[in-house]
Structure 1
Amino acid sequence: MNVMTNNNIKCTIALAALQQVIDPEIGLNIVDLGLVYRLDFDDTCQKIEVTMTLTTPFCPMGASITHAVEKLLSTTFAGEQIAVNLSFDPPWKHDRISEAGKLFLNR
């Protein structure tokens, strides 16, 4: 999984937290699914910007997943404003799944 970031330490913390967000239709967390594309941290504005995708633009659980991302990062980084941006460019593909995710899914 390749997550772009401007702060490797905070990104590692954020990704560890985001492993708690499970795609309810697949049963795998959004990090191992490769849904998180970018995490940017603005210390001056106390803002975290998440760019992520869903397995399909028509994912019925999209709002639930993005809300869970916002809530979890707000808890992990108290006082930070969280902005979640959905992007379908590039579209999600199975090759974004981590090795741990592939093992979990028996791929």
Structure 2
Amino acid sequence: MSDTIDTNALGEQIVGVLKTIYDPEIPVDIYELGLIYDVFVNEDYEVKILMTLTSPNCPVAESLPEEVREKTKSIDSVTDVEVELTFDPPWSQDLMSEEAKLELGML
């Protein structure tokens, strides 16, 4: 039996953790809201998360990326986490999942 961890499985585990983080102004998790643009995991189990906020003036601009970093870092096999904020492309409701739109009564 090997001690290696499948980076795809780890990616799924990270997504599971991201789905426990909610935007305080919208009752939907940040993953379903479309705030997470990409999750990269390398062979050393270092994670880079590319994310955005609903607006550059978002009141949680400092705390939300830190919460993403801390919760992702809490996964046992993760060795390091970098969270990069981007506003290119800017977030729009088009990035929301069908589940999020349904939750917010937009469907």
TM band (smaller chain): 0.7 to 0.9
Higher strand content, 1 or 2: 1
Long gaps (5+) in structure 2: 1-6
| Shift in CA distance, 19/71, structure 1 to aligned 2, threshold 3 Å | same
Q: Secondary structure at the match of 2:74?
A: helix
Counting matched residue pairs gives: 100
Conserved 8 A contact 2:47-2:78: no
List per-residue Cα deviations over 1:49-87 (Å, max 9, x = no partner): 000000001111121111110111011244511100001
- Residue 11 of structure 1: CA displacement? 2.1
Instruction: Tell whether 2:25 aligns with 1:25.
Output: yes
**Map of 1:103 onto structure 2:** 102
Percent identical pairs in the alignment equals 33
Q: Secondary structure at the match of 2:84?
A: strand
**Map of 1:38 onto structure 2:** 38
- Residue 43 of structure 1: CA displacement? 2.1
Superposition TM-score, scaled by structure 2 size: 0.85
Q: In structure 2, how many angstroms separate the alpha carbons of the residues matched to 1:89 and 1:30?
A: 17
List per-residue Cα deviations over 1:80-106 (Å, max 9, x = no partner): 111000011111110111111011111
Instruction: Tell whether 2:58 aligns with 1:59.
Output: yes
Long gaps (5+) in structure 1: 1-6
Q: Secondary structure at the match of 2:41?
A: strand
Give the letter for the 2:27 counterpart: G
Superposition TM-score, scaled by structure 1 size: 0.85
Higher radius of gyration, 1 or 2: 2
